[in-house]
A and B are shown apart, each in its own frame.
Chain A
Amino acid sequence: MTGVAQRLEGMRVCIVAGSGGVGKTTASAALALGLAASGQRVAVVTIDPARRLAQSLGLQELGNDPRQVDPALLASHGVRMRGELWAMMLDPKATFDDLIARLSPDERTREDVLGNRIYQQLSGAVAGSQEFTAVAKLYDLHRDGGFDMLVLDTPPSRNALDFLDAPDRLTDFFEGRAIKVLLVPTGIAARVMSRGTAVVFSILKRLTGVDLMDDIAVFFGSLGGLMDGFKERAAGVKALLADPATTFLIVTSPEREPVAEAIFFRGKLREAGMAFGGLIVNRVNVAGDDEPEAIAAELRAAGLGARLAEKVAASAADLRLLAARDAASIERLKAELDEPDPIVVARLDGAVQDIDGLLALRDALM
C-alpha cells in the first residue's frame, strides 16, 4: 500500500471529497497533521467540523483566516513537528461577504450589495455558493498564503457535483446576462428588451407577489462595479481546480450509500478532466480467521463459561459478516474507481475527536 504522502508528492492542493459521515473532516485533519509533521507548511480548511475536534486543536471559533496550531500542544502529544500546521474553520457567509467587500470599488457599493435581499439569499442558500466560497478561499491561500500544501475538507454537500460546477454556476448567475439586459432602463437595452421577457417578469410578480425588480436592479447595478474582479476570481478558481498540482482524494466508508457516492464522484471527476489522487476507505471492519465455533471451543477450554464463550463467538460471527461486506465494497471500489491500491483504514477503537485520535488516523493513512 502506497501511503498518502507519496501520492501527494509534488501536489500543492489536496481536495478531500466524499459523502457526509465517512470521516472526511478527521481524515483531512490527520493528513494535514502528518504532512506538517514531516516538514511542510500545511493549512487545512474545513467547514463547520466537529466542534470537539476543532477545540482539541485549540481552535475555538469560526474565522476567515487560518491559525497556527500550537506546536507545543502537538509536542505534548509526542508529535515532533518539523513543519507548521495551520487550520481554519470556514464561515461561508462571512467569507463571501469578505470577498464582496474586497472587490467593491467603494463603501456604498459594498453596503448596497451586502444589504441586498437577493445577495443575502444567494450567498447563504444557492446551491454551490458554499462550495464556491470554499474554493475561493483556497485560491486566496494558494496565491498569498505561502503554504506548501493546502488540504480542503469539502462541505457536506449531498451532491458532490456542486463542488465542481460551483465556479461556472456562480459566474453564470453573477453575469446574469439576460437579467442585466432587462435592468438597464435606458439606452439600447430598453429598446431591445423583448416583449417576452417583460411577460416573464409580470407573470412572476403576479404569481409570487414578490416584486423582485428593485432588488434585482440594485443587486446587478451595484454588482457591475465588481463583476470583473468576480469573474477573474471565478476563472482563477476554475484554473486552480484543474491545476496539475491540485488533486482530489475521495474518502468513503464501506457502507452502501457512501460507496455509491464515491463511484459517482469519481465519474464526475473523470468527466471534468480533474485529477484523482487516490481513495481512502475509512472505518473498515477487520475480522480474525478463526471460525466462531473454534473460538467458542477455545474459550470454553480456557475456562470461560459456555454462555459467555458463545457470546464472544457470536460477536466474532457478526464481525466476519461485516468484514466480508467491507471486503466486497473495497473490491467494488477498486474496479469502479480504477484504483488498484486504495488506502484502507481499519475501524479505530473510539471516535476520532482529539489529537491522539488524529495521530492514530495519521499513522493508518501514512
Chain B
Amino acid sequence: MTGKGGVGKTTIAAALGLVAARAGKRTIVAEVARRGDVASAFDRAGAEPFEEIELAPGLFHISIDPQDALEEYLRDQLPRGPIADILARSRVFGLLAAATPGMRELLTVGKLWELAQFERRTPGADAYDLVVVDAPATGHGVAVLTAPRTFAAAAGSGPVARQGKKIDATLSDPEQTAVIAVAKAEELAVTETGELRASLRERMGLGIERVVANALDPDRFDDEEATALQAHAARPAVARALAGHRRALRQRAQLARLADLCEQEPARIALHPGGPLLEQLADELAPQLGLP
C-alpha cells in the first residue's frame, strides 16, 4: 500500500490486514521505518522493533528498520554469530552499507520478502498467507519496490545480486504482488496517484490492483436539493451544509479524475467524523474488494 503522505495509508493498511485476517488468512502488516503507527491504530503500544506481534486473531504486526534488517541478514548469511554482530555494529560497515546505492531499500524489501516466504528463514517463525506492506509515500515507495532490480543490475554478481533477482521476481509477479494506492479526493493526491501508476508500469511492469479513495465527505444533496437550499443560504446551518456540498462536488470531480487516470472505479471509504474504527473501515473495505 502506498500513496501520498497524509491520506491515511497506515489506517487503510491496518483495515486491509483486518479484512484478510477475518477471511481466515494469517496476515502481517509491516510498517517500513515507522514508529509503530499500525500498532497504535489497534491501541497497542509499539512493540520492540522487528518483533512480530499479534494484534488481533490471525493479524500480526512488524516494524522494519534497515539497521535491524542488516543485522538479521548478516546473522543469516555469515556462519558465526559474533562476527556478524561485530560487523553489524561496525561504523565503517554501516557507512558503507548506507553508501551502497539502494542498500537500505534492499535490506528493507529483503525482510518483507522473507516474511512472505512459506519457508521462513527466521528460526521458528510461521508462514503468513498475506503480507500487507505499509510502504513509504509514493516516490519512495516505488524506490523500495525497484531496489532489488536496481541492485541486481548494478552489482552483477555475488550473493546479494542473486537474492536481489529472486526478490524482484516475487515483487514484479502480479500473481504474488499487488499494489494498492490510497488517495484522498484532492487534486495533489490524485495527481500523485496517476504518476505512481505510470512509474510502476514503466519501472516494474506492474499495474495498480486497486485504488482506495479515503476520507470522502458525505455527498448528500443532488442539484435540485442544492438549488432549493440556496434560497435559505442566509441561515448558518444551511450555509454550512452548502459549503459541505461544494466540497462534495469538488471531491466528485476528483474521484472522476482518479477513476480516469487509473482506469478503474476507486473503492470508497467515507470520512468518519468521530475518528474511524478499524472494524468499521474493514466492513466498508471488504465488500469493495470482493471479500467477506
Which A residues form the contact surface with B (CB < 8 A)? 19-22, 50, 52, 117-118, 120-122, 125-126, 156, 158-159, 173, 176, 178-179, 182, 196-197, 200-201, 203-210, 212, 216, 253, 256-258, 260, 264, 287-288, 290, 295, 298-299, 302, 304-305, 308, 311-316, 318-319, 321-322, 325, 349-351, 353
CB of B155 closer than 8 Å to a CB of A: yes
Q: How far is the CB of B233 from chain A (nearest CB, A)?
A: 11
Q: How far is the CB of B161 from chain A (nearest CB, A)?
A: 5
CB of B44 closer than 8 Å to a CB of A: no
- Assuming the contacts A311-B225, A322-B273, asked whether A200 and B218 have C-beta atoms less than 8 A apart, the reply is no
Per the bound structure, the CA–CA distance linking A315 and B203 in Å amounts to 44
- A125: which B residues are within 8 A, CB to CB? 101, 143
Per the bound structure, the CA–CA distance linking A41 and B45 in Å amounts to 47
CB of B176 closer than 8 Å to a CB of A: no
- B49: which A residues are within 8 A, CB to CB? none
Nearest to A219 among chain B residues (CB) is B99
Q: Which of B33, B187, B232 has the most CB of A within 10 A?
A: B232
Contact flags B121-151 to A (C-beta < 8 A → 1, else 0): 0000000000000001100000100000001
Q: How far is the CB of A26 from chain B (nearest CB, A)?
A: 11
Q: Is the CB of B95 within 8 A of A207?
A: no
- B34: which A residues are within 8 A, CB to CB? 158
- Assuming the contacts A19-B6, A118-B99, A258-B6, asked whether A312 and B160 have C-beta atoms less than 8 A apart, the reply is no
- B98: which A residues are within 8 A, CB to CB? 126, 173
Q: Is the CB of A315 within 8 A of B96?
A: no
Per the bound structure, the CA–CA distance linking A25 and B41 in Å amounts to 28
Q: Is the CB of A173 within 8 A of B158?
A: no
- Assuming the contacts A118-B99, A288-B240, asked whether A20 and B225 have C-beta atoms less than 8 A apart, the reply is no
Per the bound structure, the CA–CA distance linking A253 and B215 in Å amounts to 14
Which B residues form the contact surface with A (CB < 8 A)? 4-8, 10, 33-35, 37, 40, 77-78, 86-87, 90-93, 95-103, 136-137, 143, 151, 154-161, 184, 186-189, 218, 220-221, 225, 228-229, 232, 235-238, 240-241, 243-244, 246-247, 250, 273-275
Q: Is the CB of B220 within 8 A of A315?
A: yes
Per the bound structure, the CA–CA distance linking A226 and B238 in Å amounts to 65
Q: Is the CB of B235 within 8 A of A299?
A: yes
Per the bound structure, the CA–CA distance linking A350 and B248 in Å amounts to 10
Nearest to B156 among chain A residues (CB) is A209
Closest 5 CB pairs of A and B: A21-B6, A209-B158, A20-B5, A321-B273, A209-B155
Per the bound structure, the CA–CA distance linking A182 and B159 in Å amounts to 25
Q: Is the CB of A304 within 8 A of B228?
A: yes
- Assuming the contacts A21-B6, A257-B10, asked whether A204 and B274 have C-beta atoms less than 8 A apart, the reply is no
Nearest to A169 among chain B residues (CB) is B98
Known contacts A117-B101, A179-B92, A197-B90, then 17 further A-B pairs from the complex at CB < 8 Å, ordered by chain A residue? A21-B7, A21-B189, A120-B101, A156-B137, A158-B33, A182-B92, A209-B156, A209-B159, A288-B237, A299-B232, A312-B238, A313-B237, A315-B240, A315-B241, A316-B237, A322-B273, A349-B243
Residue of B95, B155, B188, B244 touching A315 (CB-CB under 8 A): B244
Per the bound structure, the CA–CA distance linking A212 and B158 in Å amounts to 14
Q: How far is the CB of A89 from chain B (nearest CB, A)?
A: 15
Per the bound structure, the CA–CA distance linking A109 and B159 in Å amounts to 34
- A312: which B residues are within 8 A, CB to CB? 229, 237-238, 241
- B137: which A residues are within 8 A, CB to CB? 20, 156, 158
Q: Is the CB of A350 within 8 A of B246?
A: yes
Q: Which of B96, B136, B221, B241 has the most CB of A within 10 A?
A: B96
- Assuming the contacts A176-B95, A203-B87, A315-B244, asked whether A208 and B143 have C-beta atoms less than 8 A apart, the reply is no
Per the bound structure, the CA–CA distance linking A325 and B271 in Å amounts to 13
- B228: which A residues are within 8 A, CB to CB? 304-305, 308
Per the bound structure, the CA–CA distance linking A200 and B279 in Å amounts to 49
Per the bound structure, the CA–CA distance linking A174 and B172 in Å amounts to 36
Q: Is the CB of A350 within 8 A of B225?
A: no
- Assuming the contacts A125-B143, A203-B87, A299-B235, asked whether A173 and B273 have C-beta atoms less than 8 A apart, the reply is no
- B273: which A residues are within 8 A, CB to CB? 318-319, 321-322, 325
Q: How far is the CB of A273 from chain B (nearest CB, A)?
A: 22
Per the bound structure, the CA–CA distance linking A212 and B95 in Å amounts to 12
Per the bound structure, the CA–CA distance linking A37 and B8 in Å amounts to 36
